Structure 1
Amino acid sequence: MFRRRPADSGEDLLVRLGWLTARARELAETQRSRVELAVALQQGMLPRDLPRFPGARLAVRYEPANHGLNVGGDWYDAFPLPGGQMGMSIGDVQGHNIEAAAFMGQVRVALRALASVTGDPGELLGRTNDLLVSLGADLFATCTFLRLDPAAGTLEYARAGHIPHIWATADGHSGIDDGEGGPPLGVLSGIDYPTTRRRLTTSGVFVLLTDGVVEGPSLHLDDGLDQVTRLAGITAVAGLDVDALATAVMKMAATVGHEDDAAVLVVGHDGGPARPTAEG
């Protein structure tokens, strides 16, 4: 004959409930600490101040994906190169965790270091890609790197799996860049990344983005890029400040309907009487 197991007393239930509550708080605190660490790591690896360049103006806006457990790996950067030129990069690391934030720092530092070795953006991305592959990381990153010479009015850039940038000029022309790109960084070694060269013959703006700005459940990528193109066109024709454009683009990012990183780097440049034309 089986005996019925005595029911837990009210005191036993309270003890169990207290233990489960304490355990849940402990896990929540651990996760919160990981997110705070990842956010601090992410923001600590981004430049604190943007450099100043004659003939060019820079503005940046950045919103990390620190909602809930999401911590992304988007970055932006701008730094001087020899001969009065500017180096600029923007990119997005796969994943939303502390590993993505750390990998972002590796990519940004590699780009800066190798930019002092080679001035060609395509070669720079190729060398950075090979370095990341050799590290054996499980992550990859998309990236755009630009080299601008404000005095000469020339722009060179290369893309590694990243969304195209936007351009607009004071004479009323604007568009989405159609330069050829290559695959993301850190996937396959020995990749050749083509370099696109433009001559800037009138004043205007460039807008570099990560996909968290222009793509999400509430906004298709093409529609998002078109909206940024319109904003850039208005800014260039009206001669508005690049900070105003960066703010307007970031406000649009709040409508895409997700909790991804969002980074915007706006570059305003001086020039002559015609719109950008491709050199190669």
Structure 2
Amino acid sequence: MIRTWSVRTVTQAARARIAAARLAATCGVSTVERTRLVTAFTAHLRQCLTKGGTWRVGVTATPIPGGGEFVLEVEPVGRGSQDRPGPWRMAISCAEDVDLSDGDHGADDPASLAEALFGADEDAALLLERLDEQEALVAFHREELHQTNQGVLALHAELDAANQAQRRLFDAEQKARREAEAARGRLTFLADASAALTASLNHEAIVRLLPALLVPRYARAVDIWLFDGTESSSPDRGASHPAAAVVAARRERPQYAADHPGGLPGVDDHPPSALDPGRPLLCIPLPTRRTPQGVLTLTSPDEGWDADDAVMLVELTRRASIALENARRFEHNRDIAETLQRALLTELPRTPGLTLAARYLPATRGLNIGGDWYDAFRQPDGSLITVVGDVTGHGLHAAVMMSQLRTALRAYAVDGSSPGQLLTRLHEFLHRLRMDLYATAVIARFHPHDDTLTWAAAGHPPPVLRTPDGEVLTLDAKPGAMLGIPLQQRIADHTAPVPPGSTLALYTDGLVERRAQGIDPGIGRLTDALATFRADELDQDLEGSADRLLHPLLHDSEHDDDVCLLLCHVHGDEQPV
């Protein structure tokens, strides 16, 4: 359906506008769309009136799928095709099946015009109301967006704060881990160094070990100043010591000598040393129960010391001082014990036709004093008694018992008793003492002007006899039991020929016995070693032969038991050697 109007004047334009608005309302066009349509139509009519002439306004309502279409067109009338502008057209959706033929949509009476004017105002008011709603909605969404932005900013701030806190925690964890690793390293070093220092009872070895432990990790150089002047780690033993070391010894407190404060716990600051002003020094006294025994001076490494290093170094110095003190005390006691032991061992007598060589090696562990002994003395008839014995145990108690047995043996031998009789009487003597100590011994008697040897053994390793032709025999005839055991026994004598050139070896078990091997392999090694000597070697240098015999049997410098060896070599002449 099409409705048309001719517009030439303003009044006609207003009526066409009113008619178009009413038709749009009739077609069911929404208020907003209708207002938009009328506004655009009014603006175009104004342009048409400005141009002048007659204009045709047409309204068409046609059905389309799903509804209808309201079309408004404006085109000029009566103009040539050259200067004729194109039609203006605007289409909007409307209701389906609208009839535009009914009703007077363009009435000219004032009431209709007023009504149309108020209707337009109502549409404008409704549009403004809708606009207010949209503005309120826009304002609401704007506020909501602002709140969202604020929330996002706050979330970002919280995430950034959480990230920074996490980074701080991570850095703190890494720092704590590094400190824990460093502390564990210091504790491990302190434990290992303490074990190494206390493992030795030689104070010279401890003094040599300290620089090896501390350089270069905790010191560039180490100087150990012992007040008795016996040792120093520096090559020049007469070298001067820094003033801080003297102050440390006098005040018995560690001193840090540098041109800046050290800030080390328990350490006093001191001016830099004139000996080495460019390097900080840490001077720590070596404490003892009474007064310091020296000062340990450390030259700072390139990275210096921190507080934990200083605490650890002071503790290590304390432990090193204890180790030094214990080693010196042990060495002092060992020297006294060794002097006592040597005093108990007699000087071998000169005997015509017989050469004697003895060796005594104390155990390398503990005090150098034990129960092994050797002895040689003449009987009234001119025969020579040689004896090697071993008291069970080690230490001063065993040495005292050895001295008593040695004295008792010499007393019993005055009446010319045989080796078996002497051992039997020693057994009874030791049994009566009831000192919970036992002994083993072997006695050999060389007769003057006789090539026969009389010997007896009580629980002792058998004698080894080298014949002049180089054959080595083990004199393993049935021995007696150990001396002092709760058993009545009578120890028998045995004899063996000893022509000139023969060599008899008496020894203790420390020479031939090794852990987990027993004693028989050691006796075999002894016989093999003795067989390697030439007869002229034993004749000319029995002392040197004794040393050469010990060397293959004691190839290691450490032995847990005392070693005693007595070599008796028979000569062809009777002149004392």
- Which category describes the TM-score, using the shorter chain as reference length? 0.7 to 0.9
CA shift for structure 1 position 268: 0.4
- Cα 1:26–1:174, aligned 2, differ >3 Å: closer, same or farther? closer
CA shift for structure 1 position 114: 0.5
Secondary structure of residue in 1 paired with 2:445? strand
**Match for residue 269 of structure 1 among 550, 554, 570:** 570
1:45 correspondence with 2:344:
yes
Is residue 39–residue 66 contact of structure 1 (8 Å, CA) maintained in 2? no
Is residue 514–residue 522 contact of structure 2 (8 Å, CA) maintained in 1? no
Bigger share in strand? 1
Task: Output one character per residue of 1:137-187: Cα deviation in whole Å (capped at 9) or x when no partner.
Answer: 121111001111141112111101000111111123212112210111122
Mean Cα displacement is larger for which, 29-38 or 201-210?
29-38
CA shift for structure 1 position 29: 6.5
| Mapping of residues 62-141 of structure 1, within 5 Å | 62-69=360-367, 71-141=369-439
What residue number does 1:277 align with? none
**Match for residue 560 of structure 2 among 244, 252, 259:** 259
Identity %: 35
Larger radius of gyration: 2
> TM-score, normalised to structure 1's length?
0.80
What residue number does 2:465 align with? 167
1:176 correspondence with 2:474:
yes
What residue number does 2:249 align with? none
CA shift for structure 1 position 19: 10
- Cα 1:117–1:188, aligned 2, differ >3 Å: closer, same or farther? farther
Secondary structure of residue in 2 paired with 1:62? strand
- Cα 1:255–1:216, aligned 2, differ >3 Å: closer, same or farther? farther
- Cα 1:236–1:119, aligned 2, differ >3 Å: closer, same or farther? farther
Q: What is the alpha-carbon distance in structure 1 between the residues aligned to residue 500 and residue 443 of structure 2?
A: 22
Q: What is the alpha-carbon distance in structure 1 between the residues aligned to residue 362 and residue 394 of structure 2?
A: 10
CA shift for structure 1 position 64: 1.1
What residue number does 1:244 align with? 544
Secondary structure of residue in 1 paired with 2:544? helix
Is residue 537–residue 545 contact of structure 2 (8 Å, CA) maintained in 1? no
One-letter code aligned to 1:247: D
Is residue 214–residue 221 contact of structure 1 (8 Å, CA) maintained in 2? yes
Bigger share in helix? 2
CA shift for structure 1 position 203: 2.5
- Cα 1:150–1:205, aligned 2, differ >3 Å: closer, same or farther? farther
Mean Cα displacement is larger for which, 82-91 or 67-76?
67-76
- Cα 1:133–1:29, aligned 2, differ >3 Å: closer, same or farther? farther
**Superposition misfits of 4+ residues, deviation over 6 angstroms:** 17-30
Q: What is the alpha-carbon distance in structure 1 between the residues aligned to residue 487 and residue 520 of structure 2?
A: 30
Q: What is the alpha-carbon distance in structure 1 between the residues aligned to residue 484 and residue 418 of structure 2?
A: 19
Give unpaired runs (5+ residues) of structure 1. 1-9, 273-280
CA shift for structure 1 position 204: 1.0
CA shift for structure 1 position 207: 0.6
CA shift for structure 1 position 246: 1.0
CA shift for structure 1 position 223: 2.5
Secondary structure of residue in 2 paired with 1:243? helix
Mean Cα displacement is larger for which, 93-102 or 252-261?
252-261
Q: What is the alpha-carbon distance in structure 2 between the residues aligned to residue 202 and residue 69 of structure 1?
A: 40
One-letter code aligned to 1:268: H
Task: Output one character per residue of 1:93-144: Cα deviation in whole Å (capped at 9) or x when no partner.
Answer: 1111110111111111111111113421111111111111112212111100
One-letter code aligned to 1:143: A
- Cα 1:68–1:82, aligned 2, differ >3 Å: closer, same or farther? same
- Cα 1:19–1:240, aligned 2, differ >3 Å: closer, same or farther? closer
CA shift for structure 1 position 201: 3.6
Q: What is the alpha-carbon distance in structure 2 between the residues aligned to residue 124 and residue 20 of structure 1?
A: 53
Task: Output one character per residue of 1:194-217: Cα deviation in whole Å (capped at 9) or x when no partner.
Answer: 110123345210011111111223
What residue number does 2:162 align with? none
CA shift for structure 1 position 261: 0.6
**CA RMSD for the aligned pairs?**
2.9
> TM-score, normalised to structure 2's length?
0.41
One-letter code aligned to 2:359: R
Mean Cα displacement is larger for which, 130-139 or 215-224?
215-224
What residue number does 2:530 align with? 232
| Mapping of residues 181-200 of structure 1, within 5 Å | 181-188=479-486, 190-200=488-498
Q: What is the alpha-carbon distance in structure 2 between the residues aligned to residue 196 and residue 148 of structure 1?
A: 12
- Cα 1:37–1:103, aligned 2, differ >3 Å: closer, same or farther? farther
One-letter code aligned to 2:338: V
CA shift for structure 1 position 57: 0.7
One-letter code aligned to 2:341: Q
Alignment size in residue pairs:
260
What residue number does 2:196 align with? none
What residue number does 1:278 align with? none
Q: What is the alpha-carbon distance in structure 2 between the residues aligned to residue 69 and residue 55 of structure 1?
A: 38
CA shift for structure 1 position 227: 2.2
Q: What is the alpha-carbon distance in structure 1 between the residues aligned to residue 452 and residue 495 of structure 2?
A: 7
